[in-house]
Structure 1
Amino acid sequence: MRPSGLELPVRTAVPALARALDADGTAVLSAPPGTGKTTLVPLALAGLVDGLPGPPRRVLVAEPRRLAVRAAARRMAWLLGSPVGATVGFTVRGERRVRPETRVEVVTTGVLLQRLQRDPELPGVDVVVLDECHERHLDADTALAFLLDVRAALRPELRLVCASATSDTAAWAELLGGAAVVEAHGTAHPVEVVWAPPPRTVRPPQGTRTDPVLLEHVAATVRRAVAERTGDVLCFLPGVGEIARVAGQLGLPAEVEVLQLHGQAPAAVQDAALAVGERRRVILSTSVAESSLTVPGVRVVVDSGLAREPRTDHARGLAGLVTVRSSLAAGRQRAGRAGREAPGAVYRCWAEVEDARAARFPTPEIALADLTSFALQAACWGDPDAASLALPDPPPAGAMAAARVVLIALGAVDADGRATDRGHRIARTGLHPRLARALLDGAEAVGARRAAELVALLSEEPPRALGDDLLEIWRTVRSGDRDPYARRWREEARRLERAAGRTEATDVPDPVAAGLVVALAHPERIARARTAAEPGPGDRAPRPYLMASGTAAELAAGSRLPATPWLAIAVADRPAGSPSARVQRAVVLDEATARQAAAPLTSERDEVEWSTRQGELTARRVVSLGAIELAAVPLDSPDPQLVRAGLLAGLAREGVSTLLNWPPAAAGLRERLAFLHRTLGGPWPAVDDEALLAAADRWLEPELSRARRRADLRRIDTGDALQRLLPWASGEAGRLDELAPERITVPSGSRIRVDYSDERPVLAVKLQELFGWQAAPALAGGRVPLTVHLLSPAGRPAAVTGDLAGFWREGYKAVRAELRGRYPRHPWPEDPATAEPTRRTNPRR
């Protein structure tokens, strides 16, 4: 042992933690980063620390990330003066360094879930420590729920510790049944906050895109921090791409070492970042360094203020990460890294006022992520709906329903959500269920080795520099013996080959094998080019595609993928505001392989619909792969109900007024009914397009059921059809001509048609035919007076009035003076109110 290394701040809290576990078996440990909760506490609980007595126990420590697992195991082994894999060991997916005498084993939460599924009793384990619970990773939340079930039903003696780097522990204590909260106080040094907002406006992040202006500013802030402060600089950025871009912009002196720390970084880089450096260092890191890792020598933190969170578009079948503003809690964690060993400073690359809009804590992953893996874990645990699991937050119902659909399609669960034998086998691979399906089914089609190699490419994203063509990437990493990613890929491929079991090798060509395995993993992302023309030789221009899910997709400019009719898309996202998905990784596919991989999505259906482009009803028998139409033939005798629905769709799209024939009599009746509905309301029906469409079954039958095409709709007698909407049952239909007469007899004896097309009904009649008429009749039972358009002998408007008596008294003289000379053969009496109405001219003299 190394006693000096074990004098960590958390040491004083260990006795209280041990008493809480002895009393209740559960406890919550709150300890700031750097106090030793990840390293000293597991050693003490295992009885390996002098001065902190306790019986020998086997302790299992679960960390959210592989990088943290290796770092914690190395640190604990160093504190004990023993090699990794002896007293302290670790297990991550594809790598296990443990001996029979190991007392403390560090694992990822994913590995812990696998063990719980295989044997819930965790034989040989006395204590489980769930580290970094505050980060709210889905696997950690799930593992906690499973462990609480184990304690309640199988092993009440199993001790459980939830360790958090924040003081927000009340919810954890309640979840553990009122567990004691043990707090450890660190020796944090003061950290000066330097607000360093960008000098120019920065666009908010969209998807995974970060404004280059911000990255330039972060690089400049790092240079400023190096110049103004001493000690190592730790810079937080949202992702690997941003780390690489900022690293390329730093331009620091040669004596300053720049390290890029993230989950995909080579082991040598990770070791260098987590050890004391010989030179001054600038460490560019993702959120992995917020709390679960201690980076020694850091005196300055530069915080970009950004983080990555999962997002799932269930409607389009797209899942991925997006860049978001980091929470206030994350900002405190990051700043605290500068005060771990001495007074320090944090440069925050945003304005202080922006903190008012930031979230207090990170959003729990369960609220954002694709829940397919979680739903399968719950089903294999025996709780398909996760209803009885003691989770900090319940899973969203919509996300669980979407996950259930995927799992049923994969054959992993039955219709009731219970895990099938195949589902248990899928879960044991440790892969996302989609990838596990590609491994198991792909192994039978292309051989276990090639299926494993391809799925290994899909399970851990290759470096972006390798491009977007997965076939080309596969060939590259096969020959990359010394490349760190290639080495990890080979290890994972060997593990997956064992998981796939023995299968016969096949003679399927590599391009076909690659397309098949990717399509098996993501059949809904099989895509066909929207244009029918085949690509010409050397044509590599981006082309628009349609995925089987119904989502449009486009290749990025500069894509290495050849222009081809079919693609199997492995990775895609949809930038904010874009109607199309963006293809990030894909492989060429052929139609036969697409049909093979996505057989459950292939369907044959009779499609009868209204074509707006043709302006006609079309009837076809369609074979499709999801939303992709493969073939279609005309349908001679379509289902009458489908025809009726298609015609109604046409009426809705083009409008009842447009698609049906409205001769003057029918149009007039419709206008009269519209007038009565406006004026009197019920029982007179509304006859606008929307209302007529809604009442189609009342007034268009049986003609609509007999119609087969547009011409049949045009032949419908709309005048007769509208009669069916009249209020016959109440007897009001008989008053139609009384309330809204089609014609009105004027004093000359003429029957003049009333125009109901405007808001007020209009009677347009020659002036001489109304002599002696003091008032036009009011319509709608006397509620609406007619508006009279008085016409000249030539039929042109001469005056408009709603008060004939007043017109004869006051307006007529002016009209008479203007028109009498123009129309001398027509009568223009001095007193029209008493004159004889006439339709004739004066006799010639």
Structure 2
Amino acid sequence: MAPRVEALDALPVRTALPALTAALADHGTAVLCAPPGTGKTTLVPLALAGLTGGGPRRRVLVAEPRRIAARAAARRMAWLLGEKVGGSVGYTVRGERVVGPRCAVEVVTTGVLLQRLQRDQELADVDVVVVDECHERHLDADTVAAFLLDVRRTLRPELSLVAASATTDAEGWSRLLDDAPVVAAEGVSHPVEVVWAPPARPVRPPHGMRVDPALLTHVASVVRRALAERTGDVLVFLPGVGEIARVAGQLGAVDAEVLQLHGRAAAAVQDAALAGGPGRRVILATAVAESSLTVPGVRVVVDAGLAREPRVDHARGLGALTTVRASRAAARQRAGRAGREAPGAVYRCWPQAEHGRLPAFPSPEIRVADLAQFALQAACWGDPDASGLSLLDPPPAGAMAAAREVLAAVGAVEPASGRVTARGVRMSRLGLHPRLARALLDGPAGAAEVVALLSEEPPREYGDDLVAAWRSARRGGDAYAARWRAESQRLRRAAAATGGELVAGERGSAAADDATAGLVVALAFPERVARARGEGSFLMASGTGAELAEGSGLRRADWLAVAVADRPSHAASARIRLAAVVDEETARAAAGHLLTAGEEVRWEDGDVVARRAERLGPIELSVRPLREPDPALVRAALLEGLRREGLGLLRWTPDAVALRARLGFLHRVIGGAWPAVDDDEALLRRAGDWLEPELSRARRRADLARIDAGQALNRLLPWATGEAARLEELAPERIEVPSGSRIRVDYSGEQPVLAVKLQELFGLARTPEVAGVPLLVHLLSPAGRPAAVTADLASFWRDGYRAVRAELRGRYPKHPWPQDPATAEPTRHTNARLGRG
């Protein structure tokens, strides 16, 4: 067949080709900004390779972020040339290579290109590399660009590099590519009407991988509305495969063909979605349809407003995807799909008022993802801390430190220097997360099949028993089973190619399958081996609790190796999604670095517990009591008990409570050598100064209760300076009042309080003071109830006493109520006793 000249000439990016060619000739790098549908992904590589309209023949490599996009781009380019894939244009994705001897343009995934660069840094047979869709900021794409820049600067300055995107930080990429020229192509855009279609009632926000079913029901209803109101095919954006399946189930009765477009879909289904058709279609798609792919016939977009981004999932111990609100940039990209070929409309399933609060752009993956694979790639490149790599965003220090810990634990790097080991090089060539690579290399025969299950989780309908899921995949005829078989074969070949001795092995017995699956999961996730603690509940070696669903066949197991778990925001424990049975011996072997044995003396359940224990993380393996525990450990446990439960564990007599209040008052008023005693933490920090030697002699809670806190507090008095002798002078425990009574002063408040019967202070004009602070005098009635409060007795006698006398005189006629209290005789007796006196 001949090239489709009309189709090639109709692509708007053609007008930017002269500027792009000149930029590469003069500078060697360029940033190409071209709207969706302009031919950025298809015409540009063909032109750079000299396959359209002359020019020198060159070998062009195009890096795409997804397998589906790589295949589709290669097929589209081959169609434009009037050829089949494998001629002038080919592609390579994980586990599949269609490249012939005449190949001039090869489309690869960024993951495949990373592997190729690690094996052949020079890329000697490549003239131009196009990194497509760089605005999506996938970690592999950022890493590929950094490696290619390194190659240009040190090995092959003649290698041309193009960063291509529909919408991107052009200035940032230009700076990164050594001040590369920016070439912009104008697109042919058709108007797209925005229809706001939020749910009638609020829906729960996404959490983890969970999406509120009410939102999915609403999306299905909006699809039916769009079919009724508009013409043309409908493209629906949903966050993941599970949500696509649920919405598809609710659209069974619509008068249109319902197709599911995602990276896991069978090739035939992907081809059907991308090829168009005679009837009306509803294409339910993940973010793969945002860019790189043109879905013909689409006039309407329904956007659920959600996306999946990578996060470090600490409950799983491995990078995972989480559901988030889509960014405004993604919403623009999605809406643009409706205007590729003609005017269209986008139905947005969220309120217009919320649109401005959406994030402007998706998070760069390097900021939020698990960086173990990135760190291994950097170490293999010779830059363990990635400090020499040209990246738009540097990797977060904490995430890199965590990644290096994982790599050291699996033997991929040297712990001290971070330099890659020979084992690490082997692991990097497997195209797996280092945890899974460790399980593949160290696992038994059959490990490749289990690792394939772990690298792409099986469908939920396969159940939570990994061995049962393994058997379902073996006999399954669905798309997942086909991909699993292909990946198993790839892993087996890859392990052998890196020097492994992995063999397929015989189809074993049920016991052999259990042993293999359990060991492989435990090797990959040693911190997630878990011991039963009853009622379907388990404790993982990481310290996280985990629960099995009701009815799970795994609930009878004593030990599990947990492959997949998640933890809802409201739950104390993780939910086990996929696990395999293991025994204690396997758990010990796989998680040996978490094994500890020794004396444990701690405060537990309200007392000191001393025992010798062997543990796997927090999991108790064996425990026996200690008769003679280390006194230092006992002392530390007692202090921990005091911190948890407070100093009330000591014996506090009324005198001890009063002494603490007096010392606290002097610290506030005078400070200096007078100690801070109000705060329990402050006192516990000085436990050695005031609780010894009693604390060192104590062995249990009952011994603490025998320690006299007041006697111990006396040790904190400033004896060395001689100030301690002034305690009674500065903060006397009692004060003698005019009646001769010695009244206790209450120092527990901000101002010391003297509570005394009014008649005992007759004749006292000046308010008593302690350490220069006037007492707050609570004047009591004969019944001991407060009659007045004053810090100025002279003023009270002059202005306040008359009202108190008028109120209480009739109520207490047996007590003296003189008209002039300033000259009256103070007394603690009644009139009758005074008369007898």
Fold shared by both chains (TM-score > 0.5)? yes
Partner Cα distance (1:161, 1:469) in 2: 47
**Match of residue 769 from structure 2:** 779
Partner Cα distance (1:363, 1:229) in 2: 34
Equivalent residues in 2 for 1:217-256, closer than 5 Å: 217-253=218-254, 256=256
Shift of 1:83: 2.6
Inter-CA distance 800–739: structure 2 relative to 1 (3 Å threshold): farther
Aligned residues: 816
- Residues 62-82 of structure 1 deviation map (CA, whole Å, 9 limit, x = unaligned): 111111111112222222233
Aligned residue among 509, 514, 532 for 1:511: 514
Partner Cα distance (1:170, 1:801) in 2: 74
Partner Cα distance (2:758, 2:195) in 1: 89
Inter-CA distance 834–197: structure 2 relative to 1 (3 Å threshold): closer
Shift of 1:296: 1.4
Partner Cα distance (1:353, 1:760) in 2: 55
- Residues 625-684 of structure 1 deviation map (CA, whole Å, 9 limit, x = unaligned): 22322222223333333322221111111111x111122332232222223234444443
Moved more, 273-282 or 727-736: 727-736
**Match of residue 663 from structure 1:** 653
Partner Cα distance (2:619, 2:601) in 1: 17
Moved more, 465-474 or 782-791: 782-791
Moved more, 833-842 or 192-201: 833-842
Aligned residue among 4, 7, 10 for 2:6: 4
**Match of residue 643 from structure 2:** 652
Shift of 1:458: 0.6
Aligned residue among 471, 475, 479 for 2:475: 479
Equivalent residues in 2 for 1:213-362, closer than 5 Å: 213-253=214-254, 256-314=256-314, 317=317, 319-362=319-362
**Match of residue 526 from structure 1:** 529
**Match of residue 459 from structure 1:** 455
SS of the residue aligned with 1:210? coil
Moved more, 504-513 or 465-474: 504-513
Letter paired with 1:211? D
Inter-CA distance 29–801: structure 2 relative to 1 (3 Å threshold): closer
Query: 1:700 and 2:703 equivalent?
Result: no
SS of the residue aligned with 2:689? helix
Letter paired with 1:348? R
Is contact 1:42-1:129 (8 Å) kept?
yes
Partner Cα distance (1:30, 1:642) in 2: 66
SS of the residue aligned with 2:126? coil
**Match of residue 411 from structure 1:** 411
SS of the residue aligned with 2:386? coil
Partner Cα distance (2:521, 2:149) in 1: 37
Partner Cα distance (1:788, 1:173) in 2: 79
Inter-CA distance 10–732: structure 2 relative to 1 (3 Å threshold): same
Letter paired with 1:630? L
Equivalent residues in 2 for 1:733-748, closer than 5 Å: 733-746=724-737
Gaps of 5+ in 2: none
SS of the residue aligned with 2:356? helix
Is contact 1:816-1:828 (8 Å) kept?
yes
Shift of 1:719: 2.5
Query: 1:584 and 2:574 equivalent?
Result: no
**Match of residue 55 from structure 1:** 56
Shift of 1:247: 0.8
SS of the residue aligned with 2:275? coil
Partner Cα distance (1:285, 1:12) in 2: 31
Equivalent residues in 2 for 1:413-562, closer than 5 Å: 413-415=413-415, 416-442=417-443, 446-447=444-445, 450-480=446-476, 482-500=477-495, 501-503=500-502, 505=505, 509-531=512-534, 543-556=536-549, 559=552, 561-562=554-555
SS of the residue aligned with 2:662? helix
Aligned residue among 31, 35, 51 for 2:34: 31
Letter paired with 1:597? A
Inter-CA distance 716–576: structure 2 relative to 1 (3 Å threshold): closer
Partner Cα distance (2:673, 2:774) in 1: 18
Partner Cα distance (1:65, 1:838) in 2: 95
Letter paired with 2:238? L
Is contact 2:315-2:574 (8 Å) kept?
no
Is contact 1:229-1:300 (8 Å) kept?
yes
- Residues 237-292 of structure 1 deviation map (CA, whole Å, 9 limit, x = unaligned): 111111111111124445x2111000000111011011121322111100101111
Shift of 1:703: 2.8
**Match of residue 726 from structure 1:** 717
Query: 1:565 and 2:568 equivalent?
Result: no
Inter-CA distance 268–723: structure 2 relative to 1 (3 Å threshold): same
Shift of 1:610: 1.3
**Match of residue 538 from structure 1:** none
**Match of residue 86 from structure 1:** 87
Is contact 1:773-1:804 (8 Å) kept?
no
Partner Cα distance (2:364, 2:718) in 1: 60
Inter-CA distance 815–782: structure 2 relative to 1 (3 Å threshold): farther
Shift of 1:586: 1.8
Gaps of 5+ in 1: 536-542
Letter paired with 1:321? L
Partner Cα distance (1:422, 1:641) in 2: 44
Is contact 2:302-2:348 (8 Å) kept?
yes
Is contact 2:315-2:565 (8 Å) kept?
no
Is contact 2:195-2:348 (8 Å) kept?
yes
**Match of residue 110 from structure 2:** 109
Query: 1:125 and 2:118 equivalent?
Result: no
Is contact 1:300-1:346 (8 Å) kept?
yes
**Match of residue 540 from structure 1:** none
Shift of 1:747: 5.2
Shift of 1:318: 5.4
- Residues 185-208 of structure 1 deviation map (CA, whole Å, 9 limit, x = unaligned): 222222222222222222222222
Inter-CA distance 122–558: structure 2 relative to 1 (3 Å threshold): farther
Inter-CA distance 351–715: structure 2 relative to 1 (3 Å threshold): closer
Partner Cα distance (2:707, 2:122) in 1: 76
Partner Cα distance (2:44, 2:757) in 1: 105
Letter paired with 1:653? R
**Match of residue 399 from structure 1:** 399
Partner Cα distance (1:813, 1:327) in 2: 77
The Cα RMSD (Å) is 2.8
Moved more, 356-365 or 82-91: 82-91
Is contact 1:316-1:550 (8 Å) kept?
no
- Residues 417-451 of structure 1 deviation map (CA, whole Å, 9 limit, x = unaligned): 11111111111111000100111111xxx21xx10
SS of the residue aligned with 2:620? strand
Query: 1:609 and 2:608 equivalent?
Result: no
Is contact 1:776-1:785 (8 Å) kept?
no
Identity %: 67
Partner Cα distance (2:826, 2:594) in 1: 83
Is contact 2:259-2:284 (8 Å) kept?
yes
Is contact 1:552-1:580 (8 Å) kept?
yes
Partner Cα distance (1:788, 1:353) in 2: 61
Letter paired with 2:770? A
SS of the residue aligned with 1:357? coil
Shift of 1:624: 1.7
Aligned residue among 616, 621, 628 for 2:612: 621
